[in-house]
Amino acid sequence: MKTLSFPATLALIDDRSAALRSAAVAAGLDARVPGCPDWSVADLVAHLGRVQLFWAADVAAGPASDPPRDEVIGDTQPQGDLMTWSAEATSRLVVALTEAGPDRMCWTWWEETAVAPNTAAAVARHQVQEAGVHAFDAQQASGRAEPLPPAVAADGVSEYLTVELPTNGPWPYEPGTVVLDTGAGGSWLIDLGPEGVHVLEGGTHGHVKRTATVTADPSDMVLAFYRRDIGHPLQIEGDADLVPELLAWPNLD
């Protein structure tokens, strides 16, 4: 599957961050966030702003083996009107990414691979998911949750499988193979074993002996990865325990 272009990721970061703020106003800052039960909506808005300020500083710093120091990042506590501060944080991230360009190297928490490089483009791609999932959180808090936009959801499945999932080390349970089928959104084979996770994208995987198959649209798949309540169970065939183990395994902190 072709990933989003760099300009498209920047536009989606801006769009999903604005969607979060709009939903936050509708929900009220004191409302609780179902996807993050310990947080109020104000906490959610502040979290995304702090994340965006961190990555703005990180990308601006350029190639590095460590994350930027606190004095480089600057003050990440909300100041003044929360929504204005949040919009400024989003703008700083988008400006930093724009000035860096897609190929600038920078520190990331994931190890560099061909599909997950340590570049500004990879940071931008992940920040689309950060803003997208948290916009859903704010919408859910307002009682009007919407599916992730198609472009966010379609790229989000591949981004999660190639960036988030492989960072968790050896698979701690019985080995297995899971096919994820999102229809026109694509399909993936996940091989889980003691040496870690191997992901194969595309194809029918008909020749592979699968332990379980999950069928869902891309938005539901991404939201399930991030343990959000989509209001209905995923369609799972095969091993009834393997998929819940897979969804609960990654450390998402």
Residue 84 lies in a domain: yes
Instruction: Check whether residue 136 and residue 178 sit in a common domain.
Output: no
Going by their DSSP bridges, the two strands 212-215 and 176-181 should be labelled as parallel
Residue 34 in domain = yes
Mean predicted confidence (pLDDT) in 202-216: 77
Q: Write out the residue range of the structural domain in which residue 227 sits.
A: 167-248
The total number of structural domains in the chain stands at: 2
pTM score, two decimals? 0.95
Task: Kindly state the average pLDDT of the residues 209-231.
Answer: 94
CATH number at residue 84: 1.20.120
- Of the pLDDT bands very low, low, confident and very high (cuts 50, 70, 90), residue 2 is low
- pLDDT tens digits along 15-57: 999 999 999 999 999 999 999 999 999 999 999 999 999 999 9
For residues 124 and 21, membership in a common domain is answered with yes
In a domain, 187, yes or no: yes
Q: Among the three residues 146, 180, 198, which one is the final residue of a domain in this structure?
A: 146
Residues 176 and 62 in one domain: no
Position 154 in a domain: no
Which tokens in the block code for residue 224?
Answer: 């399930």
